[in-house]
Structure 1
Amino acid sequence: MTASELWWKGPSFLCETADRWPARLGFLKNFDKSEDRRTKCVVKNTQVKTMDEDCRLQSSRFSTSKKLLRITGYVLRFVANLKRRSGHEHQKTSSASSVPPLDPSEVKTAEVFWIKQAQSEFEPERQQLITRRENSSQIKLKDSSIRRLSPFIDEDGIIRVGGRMQRSDLPFEAKHPALLPKRHDVTRLIVGQTHKDGDHEMGVEHTVSQLRQQFWIVAARETVKRAIRTCPECVRRRSPPVVQKMGSKLQCHVQPTYPAFKHITVDFAGPFETRQGRGKTRQNRYLCLFYCLHTKAIHLEMAYGLDTDSFLRAFMRFIARRGKPSHVTSDNATNFVGADREIRRLLRQLEEDEIQDKTAHLYIKWQFIPPGAPHFNGGCEAMVKFAKTALRKTLQSADLTDEELQTAFCRAEALLNTRPITVVSSDPSDDPPLTSAS
């Protein structure tokens, strides 16, 4: 390129006058073919994009028929507006924030559209019905599952069921329901919406009866059964409650050599309000229940408070009468029975470390269950319920003193300890049932 005279000086005709220049078409002929020349190429790329079926409105993408009809109604309204604009028919349009709701006619148009889509499975029957209507001939539907229904096509192009109810006062849709296939997505949505409108309480026959007021589904009972069987809400309602798996029994439950009240659990109940005399403030008293894990016997003591000292005094009275236990299980200090705010405040005063420290010289192993887990002490919780039931029926609304309340506790203890812990035999020759007091 650097040795080319044409590059540095240009063509020789440029030094002459313009009238002696060669013609424009012969300009390229004067170039040497051996010289380097660049050719400019123009490439046009055309991309053809086909519309996929998945981009269209599909009934399989919807969960309810109401949503399907509503969205279809808005789409059909949009298409109608485009047609009016293309035909130079100007119409005042509202802003996107104030779109008017659908009227019943638009919903009905959307319903007719989807019924026709569902009835596309009956296209051979539709062609035969159209031919029979045009030729006024008696062409029978051959090899069709709907021929016994005497179908016909109404003015909207919907295949409807015939029958003998033309002269009845029923609505037209009830006399001649629209025909629907059994496995179409539109049919699934309609059946599901009818089942949902009945609050998932209608059975198969009731659902079929409601559907027949407007639609005739081929193999309707099979379709309705499938819809009810796969309904998530019905599956949840039919599911049986989960049965809690019981843990292994404690050692004290399976060892027959332990004496009574050797392994115990402790729990509180109350409060029980008692009078203290004329002019004195009423006081709250509490039930302290000791439950034997081996013999299922109980011992009731009256505690004068929920502080540590009151509980320890009740515990010492228990030891004096029943003997010293070796293992004690109780609720966590912040998890005793009680709903009152005052009870919860007093319960927090029970110090676990102080109780363990003051009972260490008795060689008692004390164990507290985890907070928020009363099922760890389920046997004692059940006895608390039975004791409160017995006291409620005995005391009712009586106004008691401390002495009378202690007497009521003793009577409830005697009553609960006489309950049978074995099966009562119907044979008179058998021994009496075993009780905690025997």
Structure 2
Amino acid sequence: MTSCGRSRAIITTAELAAPVLALKFRRATSILVASSRKTNPADLASRGLISAQDIPPLWFKGPDFLCLSDDQWPQEFSPQPSEKDDQEVRSKFHQSQVHACTRIVGEGFENLEMAVQSRIESGGLNNVEALHELICEAQLEAFREEFNELQSNKTVSKSSRLNQLSPFLDTFGIIRARGRIGLAEVGYDQKHPIILCPKSPLTILIVEQRHVDHHHPGVNHLMGILRQTYWILRGQELVKKVRLGCRKCQIQVARPANQEMADLPQERLAIGRPPFFHTSVDFFGPLEVLVLRNKIEKRNFVNTRGQPQSMYSDNGTNFVGANNLFVELESKKPEKIKSVRWKFQVPGAPHWGGIHESLVRSAKTAMANVLDQEQSARRHLRDYELRTI
């Protein structure tokens, strides 16, 4: 516990035992609130002290007036200023501190809730008042000339970027767009949205908050949500920028990397070769055919289309067995059996046979209608009819 926390605990105990000490504590707190930073030890924590050697004695001993008698203490701070004084303070705050506040919103806070909560704690405002105050500061930073013209009951100049929006000041001093839906049965914010600059840090925080609260919508969807309350100049560009910087949106819209395709095999680029000189084979089915006695026309691939030089297939047991049979026959009768090079795909990689896999799909699609018509007529194709198809 810090020294401030220990003092607070001690005074709380003293308040129950000695009301006099509690009264003096409240008075000292009120004086410290109104004092300058040089005499208030609570401000030392926000000055960026580098080491313990930089801590002045004020942090350990407190202000000097605590060692004096009560009648020599400074004048106590009044927590209830008059309405005129309050307006003057707010006016000076808007004009002189706007740069610092805008910088704090952009650099010191990660989201809009933190910025609003900080203003609530420092200014004693509720959520709506704190947000309106931040908006006023951001507008005054971006539209100072327009604000002064509207405050003087004048229209903005024709060269202003707000001219087409017919801006006006509401009761809180916020610049709003007049629009043409004043008679619509919608909320006041939707009738007259708040005008914001896209470069303002506060505007970026507002867009980011709406983007996260509505589960990362698209550009047009998010623009519709924002325009129910705000009119952001060049808002679509800002929304796109926020979505591009969102890690979750980057993952959702990410595209797989495009790999450079390798060269085609030499067999597929051969010129002047007969059909089926290089053959890729695969099985599909089963298909039901009608086999009649003594009418089976036995043919094989070699007799019909000639012997291929190379065969490509997967590692099916029937293909591996056929290759073993060719090797065995060639070793027994090399003068009669022509060699056939059988090249197998890599196991577990069906995409290597993409050329025959795509043709199998095309053949299935073309044969589906014919076979369905024949089966609907309760008729099966004969073997030679299936070969013709």
C-alpha distance in 1 between matches for 2:103 and 2:161: 33
Aligned to 1:47: 55
C-alpha distance in 2 between matches for 1:110 and 1:405: 85
Q: Shift in Å at residue 268 of structure 1?
A: 0.8
Q: Shift in Å at residue 120 of structure 1?
A: 3.5
Q: Shift in Å at residue 385 of structure 1?
A: 1.7
Identity fraction in percent: 25
Q: Secondary structure at the match of 1:155?
A: coil
Between structure 1 and structure 2, the one with the greater Rg is 1
Over the aligned positions, Cα root-mean-square deviation in angstroms equals 5.1
C-alpha distance in 1 between matches for 2:270 and 2:184: 81
Aligned to 1:390: 366
Aligned to 1:115: 135
Tell me, yes or no, if structure 1 residue 202 matches structure 2 residue 220. Answer: yes
Q: Shift in Å at residue 331 of structure 1?
A: 1.7
C-alpha distance in 2 between matches for 1:71 and 1:274: 76
Aligned to 1:406: 383
Aligned to 1:224: 236
C-alpha distance in 2 between matches for 1:164 and 1:390: 60
Aligned to 2:324: 357
C-alpha distance in 1 between matches for 2:160 and 2:340: 87
Q: Shift in Å at residue 258 of structure 1?
A: 2.5
Q: Shift in Å at residue 269 of structure 1?
A: 0.5
Q: Equivalences for 1:213-362 in 2 at 5 Å?
A: 213-217=228-232, 220=233, 222-228=234-240, 231-232=243-244, 247-272=262-287, 317-333=300-316, 349-350=317-318, 352=320, 354-360=321-327, 361=330, 362=337
C-alpha distance in 1 between matches for 2:228 and 2:259: 46
Q: Shift in Å at residue 359 of structure 1?
A: 1.2
Q: Shift in Å at residue 112 of structure 1?
A: 2.4
**Under a length normalisation based on structure 2, what TM-score does the superposition of the two structures give?**
0.52
Q: Secondary structure at the match of 1:367?
A: strand
Q: Does structure 2 conserve the Cα–Cα contact (< 8 Å) formed by 1:161 and 1:176?
A: yes
C-alpha distance in 2 between matches for 1:400 and 1:319: 34
Find the partner of 1:178 among 175, 194, 206: 194
Q: Equivalences for 1:118-129 in 2 at 5 Å?
A: 118-122=138-142, 124-125=144-145, 128=148
Change (3 A) 1:210 1:237: same
- Whichever residue aligns with residue 312 of structure 2, its letter is T
5+ residue gaps in structure 2? 1-51, 57-99, 331-336
Q: Does structure 2 conserve the Cα–Cα contact (< 8 Å) formed by 1:183 and 1:223?
A: no
C-alpha distance in 1 between matches for 2:102 and 2:150: 31
C-alpha distance in 2 between matches for 1:172 and 1:55: 29
Change (3 A) 1:165 1:274: closer
5+ residue gaps in structure 1? 1-43, 63-67, 85-104, 133-137, 278-301, 303-313, 334-348, 413-438
C-alpha distance in 2 between matches for 1:364 and 1:402: 39
The structure with the largest helix share of the pair is: 2
Change (3 A) 1:72 1:405: farther
Any idea what the Cα deviations from partners look like across 1:395-419, whole Å, max 9, x if unmatched?
117289998452343122xxxxxxx
Change (3 A) 1:256 1:407: same
Q: Does structure 1 conserve the Cα–Cα contact (< 8 Å) formed by 2:168 and 2:178?
A: yes
**Under a length normalisation based on structure 1, what TM-score does the superposition of the two structures give?**
0.47
Q: Shift in Å at residue 253 of structure 1?
A: 3.7
Q: Secondary structure at the match of 1:202?
A: helix
C-alpha distance in 2 between matches for 1:160 and 1:154: 7
Change (3 A) 1:128 1:403: closer
Q: Does structure 1 conserve the Cα–Cα contact (< 8 Å) formed by 2:312 and 2:344?
A: yes
Q: Shift in Å at residue 366 of structure 1?
A: 0.9
Q: Shift in Å at residue 275 of structure 1?
A: 8.9
Change (3 A) 1:367 1:121: same
- Whichever residue aligns with residue 322 of structure 1, its letter is R
- Whichever residue aligns with residue 274 of structure 2, its letter is P
Any idea what the Cα deviations from partners look like across 1:125-162, whole Å, max 9, x if unmatched?
48736963xxxxx5676786546756444333423345
Aligned length: 276
Aligned to 1:371: 347
C-alpha distance in 1 between matches for 2:143 and 2:269: 76
Any idea what the Cα deviations from partners look like across 1:193-232, whole Å, max 9, x if unmatched?
66785942628xx94x765442233xx3x33135337733
Q: Does structure 1 conserve the Cα–Cα contact (< 8 Å) formed by 2:309 and 2:340?
A: yes
Tell me, yes or no, if structure 1 residue 380 matches structure 2 residue 356. Answer: yes
